[in-house]
A and B are shown apart, each in its own frame.
Chain A
Amino acid sequence: MEIDDSRPSTVDPEVRAYVYSLVTALGGSSAELDGRYVLGDDALAVLKDLRRWLKHVDEKLNRFDVARSMAEANLLRGDLLQILASFPENIPEGGLKFKVALACLDLMVTLTWPLDIDDAQMTVGHHRHTPYLQLAQAGYKRAILGHDTTQILRTIVQITIPSMAQPRNERNTRDEDIIRLALYFFRNVVQIAHPADLPMDGEEAEISRSATIDTFADQDIFPFLLTIASSMGSEFVQQDVITLEILFHLLRGINPAKLFMEEQQLAKSNTKDFRDLLQKEKSMLSEYARHAPTRHNRFGAMVWVKRADNRMSTVSGQDVLGNSQRTLNKMDKSKKWNKPKQRSRKTGDDGAEFDVETPLSPSARNHLRSFIEDFLDSSFNPLFVQLRKAIEREADRVLKSHTSQFFYLISWFLKAECARREKKSAKSKGKTVAEEDEGFSLVASVLNQETFILLNRFMQSGVDNKMNIDVNAGMKCFTQILLTIQQMAESSNEDDQDIADNIQNRIFYEESTHDRIIRLVRSYKDQGFGYLDACTELAHVFIRMLEHYSKQNADLQIRSKRRARRKKKEKRKEKQANSGEDGNQEEDPQEDSEEEEEQDALQTTKERKFDFMRFSARFVNENCINTFIAFTKFYHELDAQQLKRAHRFFYRAAFKLEQSVLLFRADIIRLFHRMIEGPNGLDRQHASFKEWKELVKNVLRKLIKKVEERPELIVEILFSKMSPTLYYLQHGYDREVPKSV
């Protein structure tokens, strides 16, 4: 006891004493029965007391003291799991054991509950206990997944089965609560991960995603989830968002394309990744070797650079000998001052939620793949229809984060479905094509107008409220929908083609969608790489599909709002011109507003012909180029596909739309030049190196020509171009503005 007293009191000693005594009273291993666990006399009451402590101290007073004491007392591992393990397989419902098991589950759910609290509500106690509790939760998860005698998760499912077996209208609140508890428990177990800011101790493999998936498969949790998800909307209603959360935490960060690769194919792709990495390292080393000193480091060469006005600069080191370019680079490098950067407001895990890739072990991949296949076949449509309705209705159980998780999962499953189709078609190519595939009906529930409307609204509100995570999820979802539709249009099934055509027409019909995408690309400003990747991909896919579609449908109409407004102005002008001289201006405003109302009603029905050139020209402006430049700056980390995306954009800007002047800016030129010529350039073996070299060469050729033609560019290269002079710089003469009378 003395030791306890000398410890700094992290927890109120009285609270700790109470909790410890309760934990002791719960039970213990018996000396008589070979050390088996024996319940205390009043175990049920003790469990209820513990629950009360958590509720009335921790929750009410906004503290973590009780939770911490319980973690220190090893309650979950030493008692709760032992109790569950000591019960026989099928616990009869209603008995004492059933009640005890339920109370254990209840406690476990509370103890494993996610610890994120709003920053504003964090107290000193929270800050003090959170790291400890995070580690404790990781320990809980390890104990639950790796319990040696009993399958804890399966036991939990068994507790819920009687409640689930009842038809929905005969279930009472208690049954619903039990189902909910079990689902929350699984959500918590999936969601717990090794705290990112604490050092790894080698044991995190036991609680990794792979381990979780393996355990889920072993203990038949996947069939349980499928049961609930497939009868979502009929037998189960309230459980939709928890299921969503479980799926989200289970699937986020996993690459669906890799999931559906064949073993061999995956091995090949892994080998390829490895080879790429080796290649990258090799080129890095050779890059270094090219510039490395050939003699020892105290050889002490010194070089001077003669500059204008007979001034000199000196640079030391033999690596700069004989190459003026390197000398200049070194001069620059040796400067100590760095421009102070504006720290962007840290919003915690911006994008980390979606964009960190999680690797899987082979066995976990197989388990997860079969689950995903079953899920797509049976549960995708019912679950996502139900979720969409719940979100639309703004049901109480739907939290803010659920909507973005919803859209993230849509994009994930669409990608998975595409990967599966590809795999299937690759397989059936060798054999006969007799096997009629079921079309896209398996994912049809998210390819309807209702979803598009919801998605549009969601993205718009995300943009308006600057919710980066929301926008990120929305963009990913929209991109994936577009890609799916593209696949549909290319499928051999005529119905699919018709549907795809119809959907495309509807998507491209709204001018507001076009505007939003342009706005998303334009408004990028340090939202993180995941966001950047998502918005450039969306722009790329959208432009490409729209181009394709508008070529096929020459008279594509879009619904536009601006047109109507302009007309209104003209009309007003006319009116004023007509009535202005009469002097009865008091009447005018009234009439005007009436007119406006009329026009507002008209506005929505205005249609005009779509002009792709004009649309794509709107992408070519300083902001969009900045976004793509920011993206290209990551060229070392980008894969071939991503580099291609940037390449297409710049190609379109510089040559198809002939706005190369916008690229003539010193930082862009420097980036392009460095990518090809180094130092630290793009790897020459890279798949898209050739393309890029060609592009950069052409841009630079244009640049040199233009600079020779128009010496004023020497100055203008330093700056963003001013809109009045832009046209002149590009063409050499002013734009002829049609003068309106």
Chain B
Amino acid sequence: PTDGDDGLGIDREVPIGERKRRQPIAKLDSTLLTGPKGIPKLRSIAKKQLKFRGKGHEFSDTARLLNMYQLWLDELFPKAKFEDGLVMVEKLGHSKSVQSARKQWIDEERYGTSA
């Protein structure tokens, strides 16, 4: 023993690092919804993947549609169950910013994609 230490390092001070704070979970709000992970992504998914089989397959087509929403919502806001998520999204739809975005999307589809 050189400096009176018992060699086990009990007396040595251990630096206690700042406990890492968890990254806050993103809230489901209008910025998230209109952001790149939100509805724009949903639109591109729908364009790419959504195919219907048409008459006679109403139920399976609808199931496909609903599954698309479910997976999209799970990606966007994994915490919430599908049903809860739908309610939250619907509620956000009443806010001014989302409404103006919605109008824009409708117009885009209607008059061809604008830049």
Contact = CB atoms under 8 A, between A and B. Distances in A.
B62 A669 contact: yes
Interface string B56-78: 00110111011101110011001
Interface string A616-652: 0000000000000000000000000000000000000
A677 B59 CA distance: 8
A667 B69 CA distance: 11
Contacts of A729: 106
A331 B74 CA distance: 10
B32 interface: no
Given A307-B75, A308-B45, A703 B69 contact: no
Contacts of A714: 42-43, 46, 50
B59 A704 contact: no
B12 interface: no
Nearest to A341: B84
A703 B81 CA distance: 24
Nearest to B88: A339
A597 to B, nearest CB: 41
A335 B90 CA distance: 20
A711 B47 contact: yes
B40 to A, nearest CB: 10
B61 A673 contact: no
B102 A719 contact: yes
A328 interface: yes
Interface string A673-702: 100110000000000000000000100110
Interface string B18-52: 00000000000000000000010011011100101
A331 to B, nearest CB: 7
Contacts of B54: 704
Contacts of A700: 58-59, 61-62
B86 A670 contact: yes
A670 B85 CA distance: 13
A328 B67 contact: yes
Nearest to B67: A328
Interface in A302-349: 307-308, 313, 324-325, 328, 331-333, 335, 337-339
B66 A715 contact: no
A718 B93 contact: yes
A605 interface: no
A728 B106 contact: yes
A335 B79 contact: yes
Given A708-B52, A725-B103, A718 B66 contact: no
A704 B102 contact: no
Residue from A332, A669, A697, A714 having most chain B Cβ neighbours under 10 A: A714
Contacts of B98: 719
Given A665-B90, A667-B90, A715 B80 contact: no
Contacts of B79: 335, 337
B87 interface: yes
A704 B90 contact: no
B81 A712 contact: no
A711 B46 CA distance: 9
A335 B43 contact: no
Contacts of B82: 332, 670
Contact of B99 (A333, A676, A722, A728): A722
A667 B109 CA distance: 24
Contacts of A328: 67, 70-71
25 contacts: A308-B45, A332-B81, A337-B80, A337-B81, A338-B84, A339-B81, A339-B84, A339-B88, A665-B90, A667-B83, A669-B62, A670-B82, A673-B63, A673-B66, A697-B59, A700-B62, A701-B55, A704-B58, A707-B52, A708-B52, A715-B42, A719-B93, A719-B102, A720-B94, A728-B106
Given A333-B81, A719-B89, 4 more contacts: A325-B67, A666-B86, A667-B83, A704-B62
Interface of A: 307-308, 313, 324-325, 328, 331-333, 335, 337-339, 665-667, 669-670, 673, 676-677, 697, 700-701, 703-704, 707-708, 710-712, 714-720, 722, 724-725, 728-729
What 10 pairs between A and B have smallest CB-CB spacing?
A719-B93, A339-B84, A712-B109, A700-B58, A714-B46, A712-B106, A337-B79, A700-B62, A332-B82, A704-B61
